[in-house]
């Protein structure tokens, strides 16, 4: 490998984790308004596995997965004023078309990135962007969570959920999270005021007078959680599929329901970084894998049972 090439994870077919393999390819160059980032760590998200299996928005292979990035600016394109070579940055590449974080280098629009929190390692920083942006765009931008409001997070121990609990607490909310078994302890440690074990209790009857439901699980739990909302309450879901029944039921109950697809957002990334620097937000990294072992990371993610985030180190 020479200075003009890099290693990356690619796939030539859709399928199981073993379709992911290491390749050598030409190192990209930043275009107008772009930066080239030498990646130190890349986050693994559930949507990565969905694209690996189904293609979804990326279509047919070959392609390189990954949207979460933490690293160092290697070069800047024309018109870039926010960063200089050597700056430590983190962020989310534009979803879905900007995928490519499973690599040694990646280019992206300058406003997809923000300065890496000094308190975070690159591994921690790479665990935050996508899940943090979903939480922020749902709770801050969409629901406008305010102090004293009651927030119910469905799936509070997962990648998005464990960050959402912290974001809601930082906004001054009373937070109730759902989890199972020993994951309930993690959710409590994150600051949740109440934790409901969904395997032994009915969330729809245990939670009440909720202002905001953040749905990260879908299915029947999403539909039943509408019953927990008080007047003027809203359900925000990160799972936009099969949503018609939810909106119809919400209308019957006199509450609101909406869904979102995550967007890269410099303002929100800076907000997340500020919470991190203030000690109000820290992602839980369940495990790390070298870049070459991306397939093993995907296999662990699909086996289930892990909390927080998985991260590839470069």
Divide the 314 residues of the chain into consecutive groups of 10 and give the mean pLDDT of each group: 89 98 97 98 96 95 98 98 98 97 98 97 98 98 98 96 98 97 93 95 94 95 95 96 94 97 97 97 96 97 84 97
In angstroms, the CA 10 to CA 252 distance is: 47
Class at the top of the CATH hierarchy for domain 131-259? alpha beta
Among candidate residues 138, 267, 279, 282, the one with its CA nearest the CA of residue 213: 138
Residue 308, strand partner residues:
none
Check: CB of residue 195 under 8 Å from CB of residue 187: yes
Task: Give the model's pLDDT for residue 1.
Answer: 61
- Spatial CB neighbours of 282, under 8 Å, sequence gap ≥ 6: 120, 124, 166, 276
DSSP, collapsed to helix, strand or coil, labels residue 88 as strand
Q: Where in the chain is the domain with CATH 3.90.180.10?
A: 5-128+283-313
Angle between helices 159-170 and 266-277 (to 10 degrees): 70
Task: Give the model's pLDDT for residue 204.
Answer: 92
Alpha-carbon distance values, 258 to 53, 171, 248 (Å): 27, 21, 11
Q: Where in the chain is the domain with CATH 3.40.50.720?
A: 131-259
Element (H, E) at 184: helix 183-189
Task: Give the model's pLDDT for residue 40.
Answer: 98
Task: Give the model's pLDDT for residue 305.
Answer: 63
CA angle 31, 37, 41 (to 5 degrees): 145
CB count, 10 Å around CB of 18?
11
pLDDT tens per residue, range 201-212: 999 999 999 999
The two three-digit tokens of residue 14, written as one number:
């859709």
With helix as H, strand as E and coil as C, how does 247-270 read? Answer: HHHHHHHCCEEEECCCCCCHHHHH
Name the pairing type of β-strands 150-154 and 174-179.
parallel
Q: Where are the beta strands (DSSP E) in the chain?
A: 5-10, 21-26, 34-44, 68-76, 88-92, 105-109, 113-115, 150-154, 174-179, 194-197, 210-215, 229-237, 256-259, 285-290, 309-313
Task: Give the model's pLDDT for residue 181.
Answer: 87
Q: pTM value?
A: 0.96
Homologous superfamily of the 5-128+283-313 domain (CATH): Medium-chain alcohol dehydrogenases, catalytic domain (3.90.180.10)
DSSP, collapsed to helix, strand or coil, labels residue 41 as strand
Task: Give the model's pLDDT for residue 301.
Answer: 93
pLDDT tens per residue, range 73-105: 999 999 999 999 999 999 999 999 999 999 999
Read off the DSSP letter of residue 28: P
């Amino acid at each position: 490998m020479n200075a003009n090439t890099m290693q990356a994870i690619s796939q030539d077919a859709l399928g199981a984790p073993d379709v992911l393999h290491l390749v050598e390819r030409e190192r990209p160059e930043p275009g107008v308004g772009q930066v080239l980032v030498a990646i130190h760590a890349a986050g693994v998200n559930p949507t990565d596995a969905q694209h690996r299996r189904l293609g979804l928005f990326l279509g047919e292979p070959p392609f390189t997965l990954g949207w979460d990035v933490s690293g160092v600016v290697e070069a800047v394109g024309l018109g870039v004023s926010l960063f200089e070579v050597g700056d430590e940055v983190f962020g989310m590449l534009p979803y879905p078309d900007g995928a490519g974080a499973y690599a040694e280098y990646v280019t992206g629009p300058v406003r997809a990135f923000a300065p890496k929190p000094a308190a975070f390692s690159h591994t921690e920083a790479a665990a935050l962007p996508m899940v943090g942006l979903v939480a922020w765009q749902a709770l801050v931008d969409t629901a406008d969570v305010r102090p004293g409001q009651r927030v119910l997070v469905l799936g509070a121990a997962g990648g998005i959920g464990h960050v959402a609990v912290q974001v809601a607490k930082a906004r001054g909310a009373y937070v109730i999270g759902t989890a199972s078994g020993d994951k309930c302890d993690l959710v409590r440690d994150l600051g949740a005021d109440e934790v409901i074990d969904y395997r032994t209790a009915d969330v729809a009857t245990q939670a009440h007078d909720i202002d905001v439901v953040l749905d990260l699980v879908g299915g029947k739990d999403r539909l039943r959680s509408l019953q927990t909302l008080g007047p003027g309450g809203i359900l925000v879901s990160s799972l936009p599929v099969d949503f018609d029944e939810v909106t119809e039921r919400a209308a019957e109950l006199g509450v609101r329901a909406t869904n979102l697809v995550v967007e890269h957002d410099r303002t929100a990334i800076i907000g997340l970084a500020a919470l991190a620097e203030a000690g109000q937000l820290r992602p839980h990294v369940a495990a790390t894998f070298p870049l070459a072992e991306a397939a093993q990371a995907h296999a662990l993610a699909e086996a289930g049972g892990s909390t927080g985030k998985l991260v590839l180190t470069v």
